[in-house]
Amino acid sequence: MARAKLPPRWVIHAAWRIHRGIYRVSGGRMGLSRPKPGGWGTLRLTTTGRRSGRERSVLVGYYEDGPNLVTMAMNGWGAAEPAWWLNLLARPEATAELNGEFRHVTARAAVGDERRRLWDRWRTIDANLDEYAARRPRETTVVVLETRSLPEIGGSAG
């Protein structure tokens, strides 16, 4: 059986830079997509930098699992953990943009049976998932982005 091919790292990084550029140049009108049946979409995730305290945005692939959004901390299948995941470990509150819809989310790593179920779902989207993941020195984190409600500001006088 032939080994699943991944492009060189520089191609993966260039593709994501171009994708971000398309999003930026189009004013957000292009570059994000909802998941198609049996596939994944692209969302813009904005985290708070763990060292800088500044907003940091990245485009990531995802699918929906009920009210939650599911992505993977895989950094283009490279060895290092993605910075956005390290930011979420320090401050799990973030914002997810999906084609003009904004959701305030709290991130967490899926574990146990939930992780297996969500990984299996990714496997139906990408048949090479296990082979790609085996190239990393650690288990790839399945990230669950749970929608959270923000407290209302102000209130009504009784």
Residue 105: give its domain's CATH number.
2.30.110.10
Q: Which long-range contacts (CB under 8 A, 24 or more apart) does 49-53 make?
A: 49/87, 50/86, 50/87, 50/89, 50/90, 50/91
Answer yes or no: is 6 within a domain. no
Answer yes or no: is 90 within a domain. yes
Q: In angstroms, what is the C-alpha Rg of the chain?
A: 17
**Domain extent at residue 58:** 35-147
Angle, alpha carbons 130-71-126 (nearest 5°) = 35
Answer yes or no: is 23 within a domain. no
Higher-confidence position of 15 and 72: 72
Residue 59 pLDDT > 70: yes
Is residue 114 helix, strand or coil? helix
Reported as a single tens digit per residue, the pLDDT across 79-132 is: 789 999 999 999 999 999 998 789 999 999 999 999 999 999 999 999 889 988
Answer yes or no: is 99 within a domain. yes
Domain total in the chain: 1
Residue 54 pLDDT > 60: yes
Is the full-model pTM beyond 0.85? no
Residue 157 pLDDT > 50: no
pLDDT at 99: 82
Answer yes or no: is 62 within a domain. yes
Answer yes or no: is 127 within a domain. yes
Angle, alpha carbons 83-49-32 (nearest 5°) = 65
Q: Can you tell me the distance from the alpha carbon of 72 to that of 77, in angstroms, rounded to the nearest whole number?
A: 10
Answer yes or no: is 48 within a domain. yes
Angle, alpha carbons 2-123-96 (nearest 5°) = 125
Answer yes or no: is 7 within a domain. no
Is residue 117 helix, strand or coil? helix
The residues, any chain, with a CB within 8 Å of residue 19's CB and separated by 6 or more, are 31, 42, 59
Q: Can you tell me the distance from the alpha carbon of 69 to that of 51, in angstroms, rounded to the nearest whole number?
A: 26
Sequence length of the chain is 158
DSSP class of residue 22 equals: H
